Amino acid sequence: MERAEIAGDPRFFQRTGPHTLAAVVDAAQAEAPPRRLMLSGIAPLQTAEPDQISFLDNRKYVAALEATRAGAVIVHPDLAARVPSTAVAIVTSDPHPAWARVATLFFPLPPAVPGIHPSAIVAPDADIDPTAEVGPLCVIGSGVRIGPRCRIAPLAFIGDGVVMGRDCRIGTHASVSHALLGDRVVLYPGARVGQDGFGFAVTPEGFLTVPQLGRAILEDDVEIGSNSTVDRGSLHDTVIGAGSRLDNLVQIGHNCRIGRCCVLVAQVGVSGSTVLEDFVMLGGQAGLAGHLRIGKGARIAAQAGVIGDVPAGAAYMGFPAEPSRAFLRSVATLRRLVRRDTRK
């Protein structure tokens, strides 16, 4: 079996180029000395060839930088002197975004292929922009509106009345219902948006389902990872703010309101009616109880269990979650007690 590492295997990724050094520097929004150089692709420092570009964003790998055979390297000004003489230093104060822009130059997203596949099932009154792509075996419901250059991958389901803005991408086997999507929204394969929230009343005879009558609102540039779920609201809407990113296997309960540019890492669970203000970050497997407010810019560590409100800008960890410094002091105290007891 083939095991050689390839960045951008042509079997899976469409490549552009080669590109001039000047074009690469412009894409990186960086600075570099003028030189006649053509670059054909990207690669890690350890495997890059003289016609490829690499980057360094972590001092831990300075040794790899000094030994690289890359033709050009994107680096912070502090590390420019460590770039070998055989490579061009492309200098920027923020290498990681520069690298993202250069990688996109070589490997842009494939454009939508306009048209509706013959095997797709599309309601007669669905309004699909002629520049949009609808793949094989998709189901598009009544009253759906799909904007320019959207891409609906095979086997996706778009329920009645759903609205999508421009340049949305809906992955294979994803489903969307009771939802309004802004521009450039991305749902990765298997994502579920707009299904019933977990709402029921308890009666002597058993559980009584409460109708979930809200919507799911995904604002511009939201991304929802594979197999993640965003329940629609019960009466209020569930809202995911512009630019927010949800990793794979994230659960958002009904009536939640997620602010702008929040990051929720894999296996996070947010219970119903909880509010995350802008720029909140939740580490993997963190769990939040319902009806909480997490303040702007707060950071919740992985596997934390949050059962109360969190102030803006705070860092919390542990279960039950508490300010990080208090939690770490508790851990240090416990370890000292254990060591003292073991000496007896």
Whole-number CA gyration radius for the chain: 24
Q: Identify the CA nearest to 193 among candidates 167, 164, 226, 231.
A: 231
**Residue 115 host element (H or E):** strand 115-116
- Per DSSP, the three-state class of 313 is coil
Say if CB 270 and CB 255 are below 8 A apart.
no
310-337 burial: b if 16+ Cβ within 10 Å, else e: beeebbbbbeebbebeebeeeeeeeeee
Question: Chain centroid to CA 202: how far?
Answer: 37
| 158 phi and psi angles, rounded to 5 deg | -120, 110
Burial of 200 (0-12, 13-18, 19+ CB in 10 A): exposed
- Active-site residue, 254 included: yes
Say if CB 67 and CB 92 are below 8 A apart.
no
Say if CB 250 and CB 266 are below 8 A apart.
yes
- Per DSSP, the three-state class of 2 is coil
Cα separation, 309 vs 13, whole angstroms = 44
Cα separation, 79 vs 59, whole angstroms = 8
Active-site hit among 76, 173, 254, 291: 254
Contacts of 272 (CB under 8 A, 6+ apart): 197, 198, 199, 231, 234, 253, 254, 255, 256, 290, 291
- Per DSSP, the three-state class of 6 is coil
Which residues are marked as active site? 254
